[in-house]
Amino acid sequence: MNYKEQYRYWCEDDYFDDATKKELLAIKDDDAQIQDRFYKDLEFGTGGLRGVIGAGTNRMNIYTVRRATQGLANYITKMNAKDKGVAIAYDSRYMSPQFADEAALCLNANGIKAYVFESLRPTPELSFALRTLGCTAGIVVTASHNPPEYNGYKVYWEDGAQITSPRDTDIIGEVLAVTDYNDVLTMAKEEAIAKHLYNVIGKEIDDKYMAELKKQIIHPEIIEAVADSIKIVYTPFHGTGNVPVRRILSELGFKHVYVVPEQELPDPKFTTLEYPNPEDPKAFTLALKLAKEKDADIVLATDPDADRLGIYAKDAATGEYIPFTGNMSGMLIAEYILRERKAAGTLPANAALIKTIVTTNLADAITKAYDVKLIEVLTGFKYIGEQIKLFEQNHDYEYVFGLEESYGCLAGTHARDKDAVVAVMCLCEVAAWCKHNGITVWDQMQKIYRQFGFYMEGIHTITLKGIDGAQQIKDMMDKLRANPPKEFDGLKVEKFRDYTKNTITDLATGEVTPAGLPNSNVLYFDIENDSWCCARPSGTEPKIKFYMGIKGRDMEDAKAKLESFKAAVVKELEG
């Protein structure tokens, strides 16, 4: 059916409820709106669904959620894995509880048990819960840090990581095979509960999750020593982090944790924020105001589903609070863990740190200094989770830490996704160590730069919405793939990686070697002087992202080089 036929079908078929039909009839004279809602099915990508909430095939609604879940249920059935059940969590967004229930009841109607959290929980706790319960899969209803009109649906497998190849494509195939909404099963919640198919979980998982987080603490005695003096400001951005973050910090003994009152409680409107993303400096306005009032040492923010952490740290010299990128906060924690565990003799001889290909090269320098194996994976924390599984299967390395540039990291293997709750805990231990040693967190970050090199990274994002936008993004990637630049900002490109073709081309010799990572629409340029650039369309948003990194002599030199390099990259890639 074309988009107009789909629109009529949704307006007329008895399967769709009156509220849906009313919403659609209200746009009957707006062809552009009808086309946008129905020109395609909301894509079930390699992680799941994400889109604007509303009626239509290209929107997040109970019908698209049911359809996706029916596809997942069909796959689970084919894998003979129905008996283990599926764990489900959700965040504070519009429709999140309803979407969680719709997913559960579809699974139940297919004879699969669902274990649904009693109230909102962080995404990493879902990863932990499904492993703890021994489930086949997990679902978390969240749109992470997207604007309030969005929601999403992510699928995890029994190892606790988001689905990866080939399972992701197999599940996508099952979802695409569901072409008639009338083939999607569901049942009444009362009946599902009576048949013990719908099960509520909560405190028992929370307690076990907290216990696992605490195992990552290296120096509890240092936390105790500075508990009376260190001051922490925290904001959950109206999301899921409020309860678990406050609980873990309290149980570890931190006495002065100030939560931003205006952003403490769940709010699907994200009323106090333009954009609930710890990467956005404007999102810290209220937190920084409170930090100055309390003279806080550090300022922390978790995104709505509490898998990303943003921080500011006080500069004692100026009294100002300095923002940290995800690369900076991740490496601050990583360096502390490697250093202190090595000193304590608890760093495994086969220790490994995992980073994504667009994450800072500072990781390369630090792991080399501590004689730790560094493994690179594609962008997406699911690939880090996959490596943890492979370590356990092959017994070749022991996971110590993993990070990605987009403000996500994981210490420990209790979860297989980035975890802002454990990141907060680890960052606060680093802050306690700094306090105990008479320095600030910002002082320590500068010390790391001086010791390992002044690496600095940037990103340039272009948003191109709709059908035309998708084609523009494709054209941009095709052009770069066919005619890769030979230099950026006067720096020679040494190697060109095309992860769609699984090739690395040495531009000096012409030698082609395998890239060695799964197929992905990503182009990467290895550039002289430890610089690099990467082009990657977003898998969840109508965007193309250009990542880049350089190395400077000092902080000012690094900033100047990055600014010049970024301008050159933008000119080349958009030209």
Residues taking part in catalysis = 144
Identify whether the C-beta of residue 275 lies closer than 8 Å to the C-beta of residue 111. no
Work out the angle between the directed axes of helices 242-252 and 420-436 (0-180°, nearest 10): 40
Identify whether the C-beta of residue 315 lies closer than 8 Å to the C-beta of residue 321. yes
Identify whether the C-beta of residue 119 lies closer than 8 Å to the C-beta of residue 240. no
Strands lying side by side in the sheet with 309-314: 257-259, 232-235, 298-302, 309-314, 321-324
CB atoms within 10 A of CB 224: 13
The pair of three-digit structure tokens given for residue 50, joined into one six-digit string: 């994400």
Segment (H or E) for 97 = helix 96-109
The pair of three-digit structure tokens given for residue 101, joined into one six-digit string: 């229930």
Residue 466: left if φ>0, alpha if ψ -120 to 50, beta else—which one? left
Residue partners of 77: CB distance under 8 A and separation at least 6? 110, 111, 112
Segment (H or E) for 480 = helix 466-482
Residue 68, CA atoms < 13 Å, CB-side half-sphere: 32
Task: Give the three-state DSSP class for 495.
Answer: strand
- The DSSP bridge pattern shows strands 198-201 and 232-235 to be unpaired
Strands lying side by side in the sheet with 351-356: 373-377, 351-356, 398-404, 408-411
CB atoms within 10 A of CB 416: 28
Name the residue among 571, 543, 562 with its Cα closest to residue 461: 543
CA-CA distances (angstroms) from residue 44 to 40, 69, 381? Answer: 11, 11, 18
Give the C-alpha separation, 437 to 435, whole Å. Answer: 5
